[in-house]
Each structure stands twice: as structure tokens, then as C-alpha cells.
């Protein structure tokens, strides 16, 4: 039987999950693991970010594109630096793993008053205990004889629940020999209760049979389960109006003939609300009841209509819950069960569906940029198949722009951590080696400054991308949420963002290209220059500090406490 190190075993399993890169920062307790990343026979490459928080964001962004992500760190100072990003992955349903190297098994299991470095007092379990609250599984390997089984169980759990896991691997176990895997990892996905699934199907079919108009709202769980095609099939079979949501805009639905825009409760355009809330029956497909997707819980779905909520592991129909019914099982079953149902009535209108629509395209002027007109330009810059990541102002405003087919957008999500969007974008660019999408990011500069160090990672690895940094000299989103007075805490020291590329290792005109846009014409010139971006392109977009999109004023009013 072939023997390999435990570290190589873990990396081999990650490779099976389409994790072709691991992000990681070395430290003394995890150095043997890093040696195995570099020297082992597993096909996984190492990417070293500039700090652990950014690296965990990157693993999250990678997972959103490739299905699973991994971050490798040392004990204590490394692992605890990952927590905010892991909390975001948990909140927004992203499967990934943080692997932390620890002291040896003997040290961990010997009671002592000695205070080792990176250890809080002499409690070696602090990290495991803390991660239990923000992962679906948090544990340490102790016995090499059961280690491979426990590794497989952790990875299964992450995939099954679409949540992150935390795994500690002691220093001496990292290079301990274990049997090489002889069979692919069996994910052993949890099965639906057929009794509950059939009951939910029966109730759903009965409501759909009597309905004349239908609407479908798509959420991020549909993307996590890789069921976008089935979602499109449902829209077609029912001839339903379809809308996307804030946390996971999907161009395939927005480009669909039945698209009625992006739905965020009372933040939505009037036409979108009428079509979604006014249908005889609404189907919320992979949507969680999170604050941003529901327009700060202002949604009217189900108030005066029948409603079917299809979530990750249960279905709720007009308030009755059917547990242990999984989205991945229920949606295909529903498609089969409604083949006999006639297509619904759908009276589409040529009314506004998005705050920023393709048809709003205008001839650029010498006027200063405003957000309302800038994002019309962005909407027309996007191409079918683009990969777009954003943060704060970049993500919020992009969510309201009309997308062409097959554009995927990710970012700060409902967790809303500033800096996450750019960190995720860094990871996504490594996942994109497989997908080969045009790489675009739109960042509010307040968020960008929190994770900007990893611009150096993109430069180091010679990525091709367009990075747009919206410079309004501070936290524009907070200014809108808390209006009326100028507050110094919403202002940030201005950086020369267009100069960062050379400071972080690039050569202007060779592997980096920098721009500053003050007017609509200058912005248009940049877009023309970056139709096929080569190298790292940094665009500083100058905006008035008090400018805000018209739709964002509605959204911000709802967010005021």
C-alpha cells in the first residue's frame, strides 16, 4: 500500500474538490505542511497573500468560483487572523477550510504552566473553541490512525452544509505517513426525506396548477449548488417573471426574456415589485431571508400571494415547513412534477427594471463623473461572461446595473465586511485560470484600503485585470446611512491609488497600467482602452464626496437605525 504524508493526503483531497491553489502564510508550527505544498505530488499550487485575513478572503472568493477554497496558517496569530473572513464565509454559505499547524501532539497533550508563543495563557484549545461559532466543524487531529477518516469527514461536512471548517494539524502529524487514497472522496451528500419531499411537491403542484401568473426570485444558494441551468428551466416551464438578488446577481437570469430586474423589497424599481409581489404565486429559489436581499426585510413576497421558499435544506410553502428537503433534490423533482402544467400568463412591459440600464447609454461629456451616470457606463462596459467582484460602493451600485448573459458577480455579500470584496477578487483571479473570464473589479476606496496590500499578489502573479477604485475621499455608504452632518470619521486620508502599482512591485507600462478619470469622456477612454485588459490595470475614478446614486438613497433610508 502506497504511503504519503498526511499533508499530501489533505492536499490530494483538496485537488479532488477542484481546489488547484491553496492560499497560505507560513509560520513555525506549519512549516512541514508548507514543505509538502511545495514538494509533494498532489497538483496543488501555493499562493502567498500579504496577511492571513486577506488570504482567507481570497480562499472565499476562490471557492465562490471553483466550489471550494483553502487557507493554511500557523497556530494562534495566524488562525485568529482568519476569523472575520471565515465568519463571512459562514454567513454567506461558502464552503472552505482553514488548516492551522499547531505544536506537537506531546506538547498539546501534556498539562503545563509553560506559556508557549502564539498560545493564549496555556490553553491550546482556545482557537478550536472560538472557531466552533463560525464554522460547521472545528477540530484537531491527534491520532494518525484515524486522521485520514477525520479529514474526509471535515471536507464532506463543508460541502454538505456549504459552510467553512477549521482543522488543526499538529507539527509532527503533518509529515506522518498515512495510506494514499485509493478511491475518490465520497461526499455522502445528505439525502432528502422522501416523505417530506413528496408532500412538498404535492403542495407546490396544487398551488401552481391553480395559478395564472408566476414569479421566480433567484438567490445565492442556487449558484452554490451549481443549479443555475435548472433554475432557468423552471422559469421557462412556468413562463414566470424572474428577478435576481443583491448577494448573487447572475447574468443568465438578467439576460432572460422574462427578466424583471433585481428584487430587494421596497428598494426595487416599481415594475419589479409589481411583477414579483403581484404574481399569483412566487417561488424564492435558493434565497435566504437575509437583510440585503429582502431590502432590509421590506419584501412583500407572500403577503398577498402564495409563496414557495426553496432553501438549502428545507422548503416552506405558505408558512408550512418541510424539513430535510434539499434544494439539489427538490428543484429537479419539481421540474419533473410540473411538466403537465400549462405555461403561465406573463404581460411584460417596457418599464424600468434596473437603476442603471443598457438603454440609458449616452454620449460622454466633459462633465464631472456622477454615480448615476458612471454606472450606466459600467453597465455598457460589461461583456457576456465577465467575472466581476466588488466592495461597498462598487458592489452596491453594480448590483443595480443590468448585466449581459453569464456575468457572475461576488463581493461583500450580506456579511458586508469592508475589504472582503477586494480580497475575494484576489482569490478569484486564481480560480479564473480555469474559467478564463474577463476579470473586473469595482471597489469603493474606503473598503479597498483595508485589503489593498494584496494588489501586490496580483502584480506578482502577472494577472490580467481591470481594477476600478471609486475615490470619493471616504465612506460614501456610511455618509448616506447617517446623513445631515459632515463627520470626520467618514473621511479617509487620500491615497494616490494610481501610483500603488509601482510601489507594490510592478513596472508602469509593462505589467501595470494606471489611469485617472475625472470626466465622462475620460472614463469612456479608459473603458475603450480596457476592452481586453492586459496586466494589472488600476483606474482611479474621481467622485464628489457627497454624490450618491438615486436608488442608494432609498436603500440607505431603510438602513438607518
The answer to whether the 194-337 and 358-559 domains have the same CATH topology is yes
Q: Convert the pLDDT of each residue in 17-36 to its tens digit.
A: 999 999 999 999 999 999 99
Task: Write down the pLDDT at residue 109.
Answer: 87
Q: To which H or E segment does residue 143 belong?
A: none
Q: Give the DSSP letter string of 370-404.
A: -HHHHHHHHHHH--TT-EEEEETHHHHHHTTB---
Q: Could you give the CA distance from residue 57 to residue 92 in angstroms, rounded to a whole number?
A: 12
The Cα-based distances of 509 to 130, 465, 514, 534 in angstroms read: 46, 14, 8, 10
Q: Could you give the CA distance from residue 141 to residue 105 in angstroms, rounded to a whole number?
A: 9
Name the DSSP class of 44.
Answer: -
Q: Could you give the CA distance from residue 356 to residue 374 in angstroms, rounded to a whole number?
A: 9
Q: Give the DSSP letter string of 301-328.
A: TTTSSEEEEE-SSEEEETTEEEES--HH
Q: Cβ of 253: how many Cβ atoms within 10 Å?
A: 26
Q: Convert the pLDDT of each residue in 114-148 to its tens digit.
A: 777 888 888 889 999 999 999 999 999 999 999 99
CATH class of the structural domain 3-179: alpha beta
Q: Give the DSSP letter string of 434-465.
A: HH-PPEEEEEEHHHHHHHGGGHHHHHHTT--E
Tens-digit pLDDT profile for the chain (561 aa)? 899 999 999 999 999 999 999 999 999 999 999 999 999 999 999 999 999 999 999 999 999 999 999 999 999 999 999 999 999 999 999 999 999 999 999 988 887 777 778 888 888 899 999 999 999 999 999 999 999 999 999 999 999 999 999 999 999 999 999 999 999 999 999 899 999 999 999 999 999 999 999 999 999 999 999 999 999 999 999 999 999 999 989 999 999 999 999 999 988 999 999 999 999 999 999 999 999 899 889 999 999 999 999 999 999 999 999 999 999 999 999 999 999 999 999 999 999 999 999 999 999 999 999 999 999 999 999 999 999 999 988 898 999 999 889 998 999 888 889 999 999 999 999 999 999 999 999 999 989 999 999 999 999 999 999 999 999 876 666 666 566 666 666 677 789 999 999 999 999 999 999 999 999 999 999 999 999 999 999 999 999 888 877 776 666 555 556
Name the DSSP class of 332.
Answer: H
Name the DSSP class of 56.
Answer: H
Task: Write down the pLDDT at residue 55.
Answer: 98
Question: How wide is the angle at C-alpha 425 spanned by C-alphas 424 and 426, nearest 5°?
Answer: 90
Q: Could you give the CA distance from residue 89 to residue 69 in angstroms, rounded to a whole number?
A: 10
The answer to whether 366 touches 520, Cβ cutoff 8 Å, is yes
Q: Could you give the CA distance from residue 256 to residue 218 in angstroms, rounded to a whole number?
A: 13
Domain ranges of the chain: 3-179, 194-337, 358-559
Rg of the Cα atoms in the chain: 24
Residue 73 in 3-state DSSP? strand
The answer to whether 193 touches 164, Cβ cutoff 8 Å, is no
Q: To which H or E segment does residue 293 belong?
A: none
Q: Which residue has the cell 509553560?
A: 114
Which CATH fold topology does 194-337 show?
Answer: Rossmann fold (3.40.50)
Q: Give the DSSP letter string of 484-549.
A: SS--GGGB-PPP-GGGHHHHTT--BTTTEEEEEE-BHHHHHHHHHHTSS--SEEEEEEE--TT---
Task: Write down the pLDDT at residue 555.
Answer: 64
Q: Give the DSSP letter string of 11-41.
A: HHHHHHTT--EEEE---GGGHHHHHHHHHSS
Q: Could you give the CA distance from residue 366 to residue 147 in angstroms, rounded to a whole number?
A: 64
* CATH tag, 358-559: 3.40.50.970
Amino acid at each position: 500500500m502506497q504511503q504519503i504524508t498526511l499533508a499530501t493526503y489533505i492536499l490530494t483531497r483538496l485537488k479532488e474538490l477542484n481546489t488547484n491553489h491553496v492560499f497560505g502564510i507560513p509560520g513555525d508550527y506549519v512549516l512541514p505542511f508548507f514543505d509538502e505544498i511545495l514538494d509533494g505530488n498532489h497538483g496543488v499550487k501555493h499562493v502567498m497573500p500579504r496577511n492571513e485575513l486577506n488570504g482567507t478572503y481570497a480562499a472565499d472568493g476562490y471557492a465562490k468560483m471553483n466550489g471550494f477554497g483553502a487557507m493554511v496558517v500557523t497556530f494562534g496569530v495566524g488562525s485568529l487572523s482568519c476569523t472575520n473572513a471565515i465568519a463571512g464565509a459562514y454567513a454567506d454559505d461558502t464552503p472552505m477550510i482553514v488548516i492551522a499547524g499547531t505544536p506537537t501532539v506531546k506538547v498539546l497533550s501534556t498539562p503545563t504552566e509553560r506559556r508557549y508563543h502564539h498560545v493564549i495563557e496555556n490553553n491550546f484549545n482556545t482557537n478550536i473553541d472560538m472557531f466552533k461559532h463560525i464554522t460547521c466543524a472545528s477540530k484537531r487531529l491527534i491520532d494518525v490512525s484515524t486522521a485520514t477518516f477525520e479529514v474526509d469527514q471535515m471536507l464532506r461536512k463543508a460541502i454538505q452544509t456549504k459552510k467553512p471548517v477549521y482543522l488543526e494539524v499538529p507539527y509532527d502529524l503533518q509529515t506522518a505517513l498515512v495510506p494514499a487514497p485509493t478511491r475518490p472522496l465520497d461526499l455522502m451528500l445528505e439525502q432528502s426525506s422522501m416523505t417530506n419531499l413528496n408532500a412538498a411537491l404535492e403542495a407546490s403542484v396544487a398551488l401552481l396548477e391553480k395559478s395564472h401568473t408566476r414569479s421566480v426570485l433567484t438567490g445565492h444558494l442556487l449558484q452554490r449548488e451549481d443549479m443555475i441551468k435548472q433554475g432557468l428551466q423552471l422559469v421557462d416551464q412556468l413562463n414566470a417573471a424572474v428577478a435576481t438578488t443583491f448577494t448573487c446577481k447572475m447574468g443568465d437570469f438578467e439576460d432572460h426574456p422574462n427578466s424583471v430586474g433585481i428584487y430587494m423589497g421596497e428598494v426595487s424599481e416599481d415594475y419589479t415589485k409589481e411583477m414579483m409581489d403581484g404574481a399569483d404565486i412566487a417561488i424564492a429559489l435558493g434565497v435566504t431571508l437575509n437583510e440585503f436581499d429582502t431590502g432590509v426585510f421590506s419584501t412583500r413576497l407572500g403577503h398577498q400571494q402564495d409563496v414557495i421558499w426553496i432553501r438549502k435544506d428545507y422548503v416552506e410553502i405558505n408558512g408550512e415547513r418541510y424539513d430535510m428537503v434539499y434544494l439539489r433534490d427538490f428543484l429537479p423533482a419539481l421540474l419533473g412534477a410540473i411538466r403537465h402544467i400549462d405555461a403561465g400568463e406573463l404581460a411584460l412591459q417596457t418599464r424600468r427594471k434596473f437603476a442603471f440600464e443598457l438603454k440609458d447609454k449616452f454620449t460622454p461629456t466633459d462633465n464631472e463623473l456622477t454615480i448615476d451616470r458612471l454606472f450606466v457606463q459600467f453597465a455598457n462596459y460589461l461583456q457576456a461572461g465577465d467575472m466581476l467582484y466588488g466592495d461597498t460602493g462598487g458592489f452596491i451600485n453594480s448590483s443595480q446595473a443590468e448585466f449581459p448573459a453569464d456575468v457572475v458577480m461576488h463581493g461583500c455579500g450580506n456579511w458586508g465586511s469592508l475589504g472582503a470584496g477586494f480580497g475575494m477578487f484576489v482569490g478569484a483571479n486564481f480560480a479564473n485560470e480555469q474559467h478564463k473570464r474577463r476579470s473586473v473589479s469595482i471597489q469603493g476606496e474606503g473598503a479597498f484600503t483595508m485589503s489593498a496590500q494584496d494588489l501586490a499578489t496580483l502584480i506578482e502573479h502577472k494577472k490580467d485585470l481591470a481594477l476600478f477604485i471609486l475615490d470619493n475621499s471616504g465612506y460614501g455608504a456610511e455618509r448616506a446611512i447617517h446623513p445631515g452632518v459632515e463627520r470626520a470619521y467618514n473621511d479617509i486620508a487620500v491615497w494616490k491609488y494610481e501610483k500603488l502599482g509601482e510601489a507594490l512591485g510592478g513596472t508602469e507600462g509593462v505589467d501595470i497600467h494606471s489611469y485617472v478619470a475625472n470626466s465622462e469622456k475620460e472614463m469612456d477612454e479608459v473603458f475603450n482602452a480596457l476592452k481586453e485588459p492586459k496586466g494589472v490595470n488600476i483606474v482611479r475614478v474621481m467622485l464628489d464626496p457627497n454624490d450618491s446614486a438615486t436608488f442608494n438613497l432609498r436603500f440607505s433610508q431603510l438602513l438607518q437605525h
